[in-house]
Amino acid sequence: MGSLGLYPFQVPEKVERLLATTRILGRQYLRPLGLEADRQGHAHPPDHPLYAMLAQAGYMERRLAQEAPEEEDGDAGRERWGARSAIAALEEASYWDRGMAVSLPGPGLGGPPVAQLGTPEQRGRFLSIFRDRSRPRWGAFGMTEAGAGSDVARIATRCERRGDRWVLRGEKTFCSNSPRADWIVVYATVDPALGRAGHRAFVVPRETPGLGPFKVERKMGLVAYETASFPLADCEVPAENLLGGEAAYSGNAGFVSAMKTFDLSRAAIAAMALGIGRSALDHASAFAAEAFDLARPLNRHRRVAERLATMGRRLDAGRLLCWKAAWLVDRRMPNSLEASMAKAWCAQAALETTSLAMEVLGEAGVVRDERVEKLFRDVKAMDLVEGTGQIQRLVIARRTLDYPRDEGVGR
């Protein structure tokens, strides 16, 4: 065990090594390539040498172990660190560039539903491809639609069984990494009137006729990964691609699998927001140290020092929330309250930190090509993805006050 100072508890040597590697990756590749993507206005192509290099080095397997772990790792006595090492690495990668961090190959958000709901045969078929180091591969998660963002119960993409196939019809929006994904987990409904009970989750391979074309959104920030809309036009998938098989869909299983995805992903988004906030804080601190005499008492620059202290305090408090949420995942314990608290707090803290950092820099803060200006554009989406801040606050209120579950709002 060792401690890096930044993280709230001692971490195993393995996690320290992972962080050290992530730091090198971040400094050498993520920061410069993130800036380049932002300037050129689009993501780097899937055949960029960085992605091939990472695939060859076994990066996708590592992500698989963290994001879609096997149910049992065969050693019940050993403490699991998957979730905590994932959030630590994601904070560090996002410190260097959050857009590039999301663009890296791996199962991504598509991993957890396959791992949790998929049969052993499906887990083998869809997840083992990430053990093949010959080329980079991506997974994606397609839930959001134009009329169903926060309220995922309202998804309208239809699925209909025809013999040994399912036919999907509808349109998905804002699906990250989908244009380059080998497969996308697509949520559809057998009947919208059934609400959550009608949900089914399918793995749709990229070559499936009727999938696409993909329209990449022009985002204000996080340009380094593609977020796209796409139609499913009579898109046929074999019955074996229904995750878990039909027996798995008694009650709300399809919906529950999507929600379980958020146990780790909300803490992960929170950690990524912290990474962006920490980057803004470091940049503002370096700027202030050079520009002002922060040590002089009763100097107007003391206010700058106070702002920097406020940023650090908020980020540190957020890190504790994140680590608690991830620790619960590692112990296989319910964490929706803690994950929502982490997400609600950290996204807001990072947004405020980045805004305060711009203030510290003054006019320099709003100049294009200034790191804080990019961070400000990158950070805003952190309050939206994986359930907005308002939705997290609803979840927190419900869990804290033991309200009955609202059929309307899923996230």
Ligand X SMILES: Cc1cc2nc3c(=O)[nH]c(=O)nc-3n(C[C@H](O)[C@H](O)[C@H](O)COP(=O)(O)OP(=O)(O)OC[C@H]3O[C@@H](n4cnc5c(N)ncnc54)[C@H](O)[C@@H]3O)c2cc1C
Q: In this structure, what token pair is assigned to residue 115?
A: 């791992």
The residues pairing with 187 across neighbouring beta strands, listed in sequence order, are 201
**Nearest residue (beta carbon) to ligand X:** 149
Beta carbon of residue 42, minimum distance to ligand X (angstroms, whole number): 14
Q: In this structure, what token pair is assigned to residue 232?
A: 């499913």
Binds ligand X (CB under 6 A): choice among 18, 64, 86, 109: 109
150 binds ligand X, rule: CB under 6 A: yes
Please report where in the chains the tokens 């096997």 appear, as a residue: 70
Q: Write down the catalytic residue from 16, 91, 145, 386.
A: 386
Q: In this structure, what token pair is assigned to residue 382?
A: 């952190």
149 binds ligand X, rule: CB under 6 A: yes
- Report how far residue 306's alpha carbon sits from residue 184's, in angstroms, rounded to the nearest whole number: 46
Judge contact between 89 and 333, C-beta under 8 A: no
Binds ligand X (CB under 6 A): choice among 22, 66, 227, 353: 227
Beta carbon of residue 184, minimum distance to ligand X (angstroms, whole number): 9
318 binds ligand X, rule: CB under 6 A: no
Strand 227-238 to strand 215-216: parallel, antiparallel, or no bridges (unpaired)?
antiparallel
Closest C-alpha among 203, 169, 202, 196 to residue 250: 196
Binding window for ligand X (CB under 6 A); candidates: 18-26, 159-167, 338-346, 385-393: 385-393
222 binds ligand X, rule: CB under 6 A: yes
The residues pairing with 205 across neighbouring beta strands, listed in sequence order, are 183
Please report where in the chains the tokens 């690495």 appear, as a residue: 89
144 binds ligand X, rule: CB under 6 A: yes
User: Is position 226 annotated as part of the catalytic site?
Assistant: no
Nearer to ligand X, 16 or 38 (CB): 38
Angle between helices 336-361 and 253-291 (to 10 degrees): 30
Nearer to ligand X, 308 or 394 (CB): 394
Binding window for ligand X (CB under 6 A); candidates: 2-10, 114-122, 141-149, 289-297: 141-149
End-to-end CA distance of the chain: 36
- Report how far residue 393's alpha carbon sits from residue 347's, in angstroms, rounded to the nearest whole number: 12
Beta carbon of residue 133, minimum distance to ligand X (angstroms, whole number): 25
Beta carbon of residue 246, minimum distance to ligand X (angstroms, whole number): 23
Closest C-alpha among 363, 369, 267 to residue 318: 267
Beta carbon of residue 78, minimum distance to ligand X (angstroms, whole number): 32
Q: Please identify every residue annotated as catalytic.
A: 386
For ligand X, the binding residues (CB under 6 A) are 109, 141-144, 149-150, 174-176, 219, 222, 227, 381, 384-385, 387-388, 390-391, 394, 409, 411
